[in-house]
Structure 1
Amino acid sequence: MEFVKEFATFLHQNGIIKFGEFTLASGKKSSYYVDLRLVPSYPHEFRKMVKYLENDIAQNIGLDEFDSIVSVPTGGLVIASALAMETVKPLIYVRSKPKDYGTSKSVEGKIYDGMKVVMIDDVATTGGSVVNAIQSLKEVNITIKDAYVIVDRMEGASEALTELGVKMHSILNILEITESLYEQNLIDQNILEKVKKQISK
């Protein structure tokens, strides 16, 4: 797939994916780090990524099959905002914890009973933040069947979402990225093996 190869190379060349020893937000150790918050600093690639996402959603789900786009701050929200502009769809978002002033809502934006949404996030590891968001949405009677991430780290997110009846789609996963970089001689076999080992855990 041409986009995967091109995008993987772009991520690597601009230090958006780094290989080494990292500690993730969850406290887990990782042999690589993906910081997609850097992508909007490259408008051409950012737009290409959002367009690819839009086409994928149109083909897999259909743009008429849902009412709104939903995301979680901060990484996914930038992507979801751009996607909402492209698809001319309303945007809502779920706070990680309800605000402790004003309306004390955890879901921000115009919502109504039985509304159908598609969730957008940047990177999925265990799926924790998306799982919490899905539960918040269900509490206010919002229907969600599909979630999209740009990069799936393949460490349990897909399975966690399946348990909630939500299908997770990804534009690319960490294995596709590292294999593509390895085929282009941009990383060595040692790095590829470390990533594979991390996934299999």
Structure 2
Amino acid sequence: MSGAAMARLLLEGGAVQVSHGQPFILAAGWASPAYIDCRLLIGDARLRRAATALAAEAIRAGFGDAPPEAVAGAETAGIPWAAWLAEALDLPLRYVRKRPLGIGRNAQVEGGPVEGMRVLLVDDLMTDGGSKVAFTRGLRSGGATVTHALCLFHHGTFPGGAERMEKLGLTLVSLASWRDVLAADGACALPDADRAVLERFLADPIGWSAAHGGRATMLKPAL
């Protein structure tokens, strides 16, 4: 299964980092004892090829008669993954900025037009989906049809993500989650001490965040 395979790649690449002291403050403002650094996979040819193959397999298997006609990487961490995935699927590549830069209908989109195209949004992570709002808006303002977003890892712990995806009309294709990381065994398995920290956090992520200097409540999903 792709979840188990992606989790192994993340663990092999050292992308799963667990702190027993100072918490990580994620981009969305939540505090967490664990951090996923997908950028570490970028530098290892074997790991990035394997991750790209898993992503391509998920797209080929999951889109039926309406596959994407282009791949758009989310600024900035999604761009390299979108590039490798576009190459694997032999599709046009675009990238989308967090906010408009310049003028015109395609102010957020680079690499060519997207008007009238089914475009797959690609990012490395999803926490609570806040950044996906701006990226989806940018692509749709350029005339793209955007129904799916792909990420390598979905935290799936904090509120707001499912609501945002529903309001955006987006289906999330995620290659791995914390459940997959915790299920990893053998040489890739998390040390017992790291597992205990992570399991305490996952039992009450909002409470854990509030107690460690992060956000204590979800923001109203913005569209």
TM-score by length of 1: 0.86
Percent identity, aligned pairs only, is 25
What's the secondary structure of 2:204's corresponding residue?
A: helix
Query: Structure 2: which 5+ residue stretches go unaligned?
Result: 208-216, 218-223
Separation in 2 of the partners of 1:49 and 1:137? 25
Q: Is the 8 Å Cα contact of residues 125 and 157 (structure 1) preserved in structure 2?
A: yes
Higher strand share: 1
Partner of 2:14: 15
Pair 1:109-2:111 in alignment? yes
Residue 180 of structure 1 corresponds to 184
Query: CA separation in 2, counterparts of 1:162 and 1:181?
Result: 34
How large is the Cα RMSD of the aligned pairs? 2.7
More helix by share: 1
Cα pair 1:175 1:195 within 8 Å, conserved: no
Equivalent position of 1:150 in the other structure: 152
* Structure 2 counterpart of 1:191: 198
User: Which deviates more from structure 2 when the two are superposed, residues 7-16 or residues 143-152?
Assistant: 7-16
SS of equivalent residue, structure 1 residue 131: helix
In 2, Cα distance between the equivalents of 1:50 and 1:64? 20
1:63 deviates by 8.1
Partner letter of residue 141 of structure 1? G
Counterpart among 43, 46, 54 of residue 44 in structure 1:
46
Q: Which of 173, 185, 194 pairs up with 1:169?
A: 173
CA shift digits 1:17-45 (9 cap, x unpaired): 11121111233211211110110111111
Residues 62 and 80 of structure 1, relative CA distance in 2, 3 Å threshold:
farther
CA distance in 1, matches of 2:141, 2:105: 16
What is aligned with 2:131?
A: 129
**Displacement after TM superposition at 1:115 (Å):** 1.4
**In 2, Cα distance between equivalents of 1:59 and 1:111:** 26
Residues 123 and 152, structure 1, Cα contact 8 Å, conserved in 2: yes
Q: How far apart are residue 6 of structure 1 and its match?
A: 4.6
Deviation at 1:69, TM superposition (A): 0.5
Tell which has more relative contact order, 1 or 2 (C-alpha 8 A, sep 6+).
2
- In structure 2, give the amino acid aligned to 1:191: L
**How many residues of Structure 1 are paired with residues of Structure 2 in the alignment?**
200
5+ residue gaps, structure 1, are: none
